[in-house]
Structure 1
């Protein structure tokens, strides 16, 4: 079994779930040929990941001359197939708007699809799997048509909510269409996609990398924290406002916020405007992937109040919540997207409404003052992740699905 993998950026810090899935599949005996649309902007300093980067083929890094040659070779080798795919592109452009940005983007991605198709054939790939249902899947479905290599998809969040063009066509053309949550599956079914091709495949974690902490924390203040890219959908502004409310109520609490992003200065200004000092909130900036586990274990509670941003983008099921739950750290998040499938209120964590700092402050305070509930949730949370979100379990599920496609098992 030789499976090609395509993702927007591989391997990158923002896509740990993709490269971990690849490495787990390889540990299960699957031969993976990695492809990436872009060259990653941030490198991962791990030997096994660096080795993966060295053998990854970066599509958009190819010269335009080489891409043109690949198109000419595809045309000469199989003119009927090439013209048939070109007609598919034309129909798709008509569907999204002939001269719209998306429509013109489809033409651009079609040309790079020829390079991918040539690579799939040269490497003898049996199947192509794609993470994210927007740009990578555009390339994949045209490359599949050009190469006769079947493809499948794992959809996540903004790729179906904010950038979900041609979803019906993509599901129809795929061998199967997986997504990470029941919430996403119902959303897609409501869009009228073929439900028989829909499957749930979770983004998994390696439980052995995030063992339950044994050290007893002795903080003078209750230390809550979060880690993530500083963007609107993470809801860090709501978290900062909640900390300000708790401080005004006389609670001794501190917030440690790890991560970088476009809202860094804006969030710092918000904290200052709410009279939060460096003793109340620490902006740690980006931390190395190897330091994530120790950072999480240093917290009394992990709080990630996700929300929908102005463009409609939301998180799916953040992997970092799973990592905190495995580490024995109680979690607070929001009733949004697929999060309640992981964080079950008062069972595996606590949930609040998105964008509601008063409710969030009240819930954090309840957690602080409820040690019995906190300990019960910690035990249930780790069991939930190990049972439903194990990387090995979900990689085995994918491997079986690839095998069914390759062997034409319906």
Structure 2
């Protein structure tokens, strides 16, 4: 794209298979006329890319992932940053943050901010960060150094594991807070607004789903009650996704039910969960596919009978927002079993668009058995979820709102 991009978008990593909602948004913003560059805090670790990533035309730049890996670049940036008009203020604010959060991650944020602020091309007028924790800190420090406005989009972990003091300061004008914050669930918006001095700084903007990226759903013939049941889950193997509870639930399914479960996604708990499945004697009914690109995920959804996402609140407070995979499953008329956690009930009304449980193994097992035994009811709920997705959770309305906010942001002059 020619010309200077007026917006710098700060992300944690690019590209990431598990963050299709970010790629979807950025592609849509480009198509709405926004010009920006992406600044990523980390290099990619996934070996695959979604086709969606290849549609993005923006330039992608990488900040030093760890400061010691590029010492000359970091020290050169630090020296240059000292001459910036807001450096002393940024240094003071960062030192206050460091006293409350004395971690190497906090130190790394300031070093990355110095590189960002000094390598930013002339003509950049604002920052927009995806995630309220680390990316927003880097964007905020750099924005203060340069006297530019910044904004953020908050999602799930960043809302629920960030300390109250940090969220409040990032939303407070007197502490060089964000011009606005967008978040993708009413559940998350309520927490952020409760910590903001001006709650109107927080916009509820659902990601929704770009239905143009998904094929028309198949016409599903009702499954015979004695036919094999193919269960599918998509999500990282981390505590908040609750797959340990689902494995326990699968072991409780009655012998009369001929089931198999396919899991898509990577994650740190793979060994622990496969060990659990072996101990319960069900490992031969489970297929672990690992990370897959979007076409592979869609094909798996079209081949499955039931989508199960057993989300839970993790021990550190981390939790889902409104997982996009639920909307993706609905787009393919795939019936859904999930939990009443976080913002999931904002899309799935229990008994109407799917079944929501308390996430215990027995409750998950009961929901699976219930839907397996009543194909007609299951099909009606899948149809209702698809209808709600099309009517209330398409991407267009949210993108229009966000595009307007970002346009105002890049036109804003900070005194």
Please give the TM-score of this superposition, normalised by the length of structure 1: 0.90
Query: What is the CA-CA distance between 1:133 and the residue it aligns to?
Result: 0.9
> Which one of 176, 192, 216 corresponds to residue 180 of structure 2?
176
Correspondence 1:27 to 2:31: yes
Correspondence 1:228 to 2:231: no
- 1:56 matched to which residue of 2? 60
| CA pair 266-93 structure 1, distance change in 2 beyond 3 A | closer
- 2:246 matched to which residue of 1? 239
Query: What is the CA-CA distance between 1:186 and the residue it aligns to?
Result: 1.4
- 2:409 matched to which residue of 1? 405
Distance 2:388 2:220 in 1: 22
| CA pair 52-66 structure 1, distance change in 2 beyond 3 A | farther
The Cα RMSD (Å) is 2.4
Query: What is the CA-CA distance between 1:240 and the residue it aligns to?
Result: 1.6
User: In the comparison of the two structures, how many residue pairs are matched?
Assistant: 398
Correspondence 1:259 to 2:258: no
Correspondence 1:157 to 2:182: no
> Which one of 61, 69, 82 corresponds to residue 76 of structure 2?
69
Query: What is the CA-CA distance between 1:277 and the residue it aligns to?
Result: 4.9
- 1:290 matched to which residue of 2? 295
Query: What is the CA-CA distance between 1:48 and the residue it aligns to?
Result: 6.0
Equivalences for 1:199-238 in 2 at 5 Å? 199-210=203-214, 211-214=216-219, 216=221, 220-238=227-245
Greater CA drift, 40-49 or 140-149 = 40-49
Q: Is the contact made by 2:7 and 2:410 (CA closer than 8 Å) also made in structure 1?
A: no
- 2:115 matched to which residue of 1? 115
> Which one of 388, 392, 396 corresponds to residue 392 of structure 2?
388
Query: What is the CA-CA distance between 1:386 and the residue it aligns to?
Result: 2.6
- 1:343 matched to which residue of 2? 348
Q: Is the contact made by 1:233 and 1:308 (CA closer than 8 Å) also made in structure 2?
A: yes
- 2:95 matched to which residue of 1? 90
Distance 1:53 1:10 in 2: 13
Q: Which runs of 5+ in 1 are unaligned?
A: none
| CA pair 64-54 structure 1, distance change in 2 beyond 3 A | farther
| CA pair 284-108 structure 1, distance change in 2 beyond 3 A | closer
| CA pair 108-225 structure 1, distance change in 2 beyond 3 A | closer
SS of 1:34 mapped into structure 2: strand
Distance 1:32 1:204 in 2: 22
> Which one of 287, 291, 308 corresponds to residue 313 of structure 2?
308
Q: Is the contact made by 1:230 and 1:261 (CA closer than 8 Å) also made in structure 2?
A: yes
Query: What is the CA-CA distance between 1:145 and the residue it aligns to?
Result: 0.6
Query: What is the CA-CA distance between 1:192 and the residue it aligns to?
Result: 5.2
